[in-house]
Amino acid sequence: MNNHCFYVVLAANGAFIHPRYDRAVYCRDNCFRGPKVIRKFGSIREAQEAAIDHLWEVVPVDRHIPDRLEVDKLYYAYKFPYND
């Protein structure tokens, strides 16, 4: 999977990573609200870093953001668990 490009949807209420552009467009248009953009990355590591950086901007401070994000999973800002 590391030799593929990855598309990251960055939205006002979350993020999404997927290797297929058509799936990223579908999620951008149907799963998120507010300002949205799709960015292309050459590796999963770069895609995860961009998505995590974006989530730090949109997720409330009292929530826990994981160090790694899964591909093909929707991450909504208010669905993260509370910090202990």
Sketch the domain layout of the chain as residue ranges. 6-79
Give the pLDDT confidence score for residue 27 in this predicted structure. Answer: 96
Give the pLDDT confidence score for residue 1 in this predicted structure. Answer: 46
Task: Tell me the DSSP string of 18-63.
Answer: ES-HHHHHHHHHHT--SSEEEEEESSHHHHHHHHHHHHHHHS-TTB
Query: pLDDT tens across 14-57, in order?
Result: 999 999 999 999 999 999 999 999 999 999 999 999 999 999 99
Q: How far apart are CA 20 and CA 63, in angstroms?
A: 29
Q: What is the pTM of this model?
A: 0.90
Lowest model confidence (mean pLDDT) among 2-6, 49-53, 77-81: 2-6
58 or 84, which is more confident: 58
Convert 38-59 to b/e letters by CB count within 10 Å (16 or more is b): beebeebeebbebbbebbeebb
